[in-house]
Amino acid sequence: MPYKLSGREVYIVLSAIYEKYYYIADQLINYNENFPINTLEYWKSAGYVSRDVTPDYFAYFDRSGRRHPFNLFIFGRFHSAIEKGGNNFDEILESSVYAPLLKPNISAMQTAEMNMKNYLSALGGDDLLNHHYTILNMLLSYHRHDLHPIVTITGTYDPRKAVDNYQALASEFYHRLGPGQDWQSIAHFLVYDTKRQGEGTDILFKYGNIQVYKLPLGTACAGCKSLYIESEKPKLYYISDLLNSGPQSITQRVEEESTTIPTCGPSHLWCGCSGPFPLTKMEWWFDESPPNAI
């Protein structure tokens, strides 16, 4: 049986996470978020927390003093700790505060928050939208490197090791949410679109609106080769153009086998193009041709 946290212990764990990670939590505020009451009810029925715990325990106050129903980063960290479990309160507290946080891509997490409804609507419609907060929290935990598998298979999973690839994330989706979806393609698109969009945002913040390029695989589809290669050399785009086209083209990129829209993320399901890469002007193929417009 899992150790059941009392209301007071829940408050202590949340306060400890607030204290240690407020600098990340404040970057992930979504003013339209709603508390996932179904998750709390599941924790109660599963014996993770006592029945007296209410959504008010999870209220988050940003530095301006504004109250939010909860904070996805704080909630996700708490979620990971109690589902990982422990023999006593001290083990759960330690897990919630000191579990590895290995350079999470904050921009990728923000991309996930802002676009999750569009992702799920395109990838699976209402069936996926019903699991909006569960999938979002799992994806955020994935990017934080603190999503641990709930199903262990001898020789395959180490429960102490965080999920670190889209195949393992797909397995977690299946075991937590059940069959009925192509979890492999869903996980692949969610992971790589948020990751690439996040990397593109970081490029924009660090270097400004510079020119970038992407590199299709040798086995890439004709559409991707047309988007990113011209005369056997990579096409150049401004990073802001690729970033702006990403959220606007989610549905088209999911539904069409080969899209005509260049973006930081996958141009279609199972797209394997790499990048975006900042142009250094030291590339062997570089010339002074103007960047391509979108």
Using the structure block, give the residue that is written with the tokens 């797209």. Answer: 271
Q: Say if 178 falls within a structural domain.
A: no
- Judge whether residue 151 has pLDDT over 80: no
Q: Say if 127 falls within a structural domain.
A: no
Among residues 67, 99, 131, the one where a domain terminates is: 99
Q: Say if 107 falls within a structural domain.
A: no
pTM, entire model: 0.64
pLDDT in tens, 181-200: 999 999 999 999 999 998 89
Q: Say if 119 falls within a structural domain.
A: no
Cα–Cα distances (Å) from 77 to 40, 69, 93, 277, in that order, read 14, 16, 11, 31
Average pLDDT on 233-241 reads 93
Q: Say if 93 falls within a structural domain.
A: yes
Among residues 52, 75, 99, the one where a domain terminates is: 99
- Judge whether residue 93 has pLDDT over 70: yes
Q: Say if 253 falls within a structural domain.
A: yes
Nearest of 159, 143, 289, 270 to residue 202 by alpha carbon: 143
Q: Say if 286 falls within a structural domain.
A: no
Rounded distance between C-alpha atoms, residue 190 and residue 266, angstroms: 9
Q: Say if 34 falls within a structural domain.
A: yes
State how many domains the chain has: 2
CA dihedral 136, 100, 149, 118 (to 10 degrees): 10
Full residue range of the structural domain in which residue 234 is found: 197-278
- Judge whether residue 155 has pLDDT over 60: no
Rounded distance between C-alpha atoms, residue 124 and residue 186, angstroms: 9
pLDDT in tens, 242-278: 998 888 889 888 887 767 789 999 999 999 898 899 9
Q: Quickly state the pLDDT bin for 71 (edges 50, 70, 90).
A: confident
Among residues 99, 124, 143, the one where a domain terminates is: 99
Rounded distance between C-alpha atoms, residue 278 and residue 291, angstroms: 13
